[in-house]
Amino acid sequence: MPKLTFYSVRMRASRGSMHISGAEGIYDKDDVVTIVQEYTKRTFLHEKGRAEEIRIIVEELKEKPVRIHSLPLYTLNTRNAEAAKRASSKILSSVGITERAIEEAFKCLTLGITMRGAMLLDIEGVRLEPDLLRGVRVTRMGITKEASADLSMKLGKLGINNSTVKEALILVSKVHRHPMILGELCISDNPGYTTGYVATRAHGYIRLPRIKKKGIPYGGRAFFITGGEVKGLITYLQTTPVLINKIEPCRGVVTLNDIIG
Ligand code: PML
């Protein structure tokens, strides 16, 4: 059998200092040209407007990707930003993250600045990423064709089969495989996208509709971390190639009680 060559394809589009969109995946050699076209097209249609600069990196992977399962997916019926914040606090504090850290994450994500990457906070809310303006961008993750078809089918049944949900679940599944990651909070920076999420290894990926009001053009990701060496975690997040090869259940609307009992 011929050896499979994988490529990491990463795209970032911007206008001046404004981040417009980003996307990435791991692809077989034969699919690279198509995906470069798709990423480019996507930036031209973006709701944040036209990009002035589109940077695409295509890089052959030197390491074999680690194959992992996705996190299970759920949606809570949060009616507004306050309800989404309350639900996030309950879920994140149930794994040992302090109220202070959760408050700090919400404060930073609603401040009006969007970082390129994620913030790292310890469970007391102290920021640990080396570059406080850029954060840590998670890269080198993807999904096999079979798992992608299964995910599309499962999300399709829930009426949410779009690249935003798929790419967020792929990213989350890579992030939460690392033992130093305790939890995550995400608010989209797309003005029209008002669903965010919290995630933990124990509870899964929990979508939070209406976590922000329509029209707000900022947001971001916060990872809550514990123990271990931050440098090693950053190396994993940025360089270890990971492919999702199995999709765990994707459920529709559940209650907070279903999640934390
Ligand atoms: C993003 O804009 O990339 C973050 C999306 C978060 C929510 C995705 C979902 O609807 O599950």
Same domain, 29 and 81: no
Residue 187 has pLDDT above 70, yes or no: yes
Does residue 174 contact residue 242 with C-beta atoms inside 8 Å?
A: yes
Asked whether the whole model's pTM tops 0.75, one would answer yes
Q: Compute the distance between CA of residue 208 and CA of residue 79 in angstroms, rounded to an integer.
A: 9
Same domain, 247 and 135: yes
If you count DSSP H runs as helices and E runs as strands, how many of each does the chain have, helices first? 7, 13
Ligand 1 pocket mutation pick from 195, 218, 250, 253 by most atoms within 8 angstroms of CB: 195
Mean pLDDT, range 9-34, rounded to an integer: 92
Residue 49 has pLDDT above 80, yes or no: yes
Residue 1 has pLDDT above 80, yes or no: no
- Whether residue 151 lies inside any domain: the answer is yes
Same domain, 74 and 176: yes
Ligand 1, atom 7: closest residue by C-alpha: 196
Same domain, 12 and 138: no
Ligand 1, atom 4: closest residue by C-alpha: 188
pLDDT value of position 133: 87
| DSSP element (H, E) containing 196 | strand 196-200
Same domain, 236 and 118: yes
Residue 2 has pLDDT above 70, yes or no: no
Tell which residue, 29, 30, 26, has the closest CA to residue 5: 29
Take residue 121 and report the two structure tokens written for it. 């906070």
Same domain, 97 and 12: no
Q: Is the CB of 193 under 6 A from ligand 1?
A: yes
pLDDT value of position 123: 94
Same domain, 14 and 84: no
Q: What is the Cβ-side half-sphere exposure of residue 172, based on CA atoms within 13 angstroms?
A: 30
Tell which residue, 218, 194, 220, 217, has the closest CA to residue 207: 194
Same domain, 117 and 54: no
- Whether residue 1 lies inside any domain: the answer is no
Q: Is the CB of 207 under 6 A from ligand 1?
A: yes
53-95 tens-digit pLDDT: 999 999 999 999 999 999 999 999 999 999 999 999 999 999 9
Same domain, 176 and 235: yes
- Whether residue 117 lies inside any domain: the answer is yes
Domain housing 237 = 67-260
Ligand 1 pocket mutation pick from 165, 172, 184, 194 by most atoms within 8 angstroms of CB: 165
Mean pLDDT, range 139-154, rounded to an integer: 98
How much of the chain exceeds pLDDT 90, in percent? 85
- Helical H runs in the chain? 32-44, 81-93, 99-109, 145-158, 163-175, 230-239, 256-260
Same domain, 80 and 56: no
CB proximity list for 31: less than 8 A, separation 6 or greater? none
Q: How many domains does the chain have?
A: 2
Q: Give the chain's mean pLDDT.
A: 95
Q: Is the CB of 186 under 6 A from ligand 1?
A: yes
Same domain, 97 and 226: yes
Of 19, 43, 62, the residue that ends a domain is 62
Mean pLDDT, range 37-58, rounded to an integer: 90
209-237 tens-digit pLDDT: 999 999 998 899 999 999 889 999 999 99
pLDDT band at 46 (very low <50, low <70, confident <90, very high): confident
Take residue 84 and report the two structure tokens written for it. 């989404």
Same domain, 165 and 249: yes
99-111 tens-digit pLDDT: 999 999 999 999 8
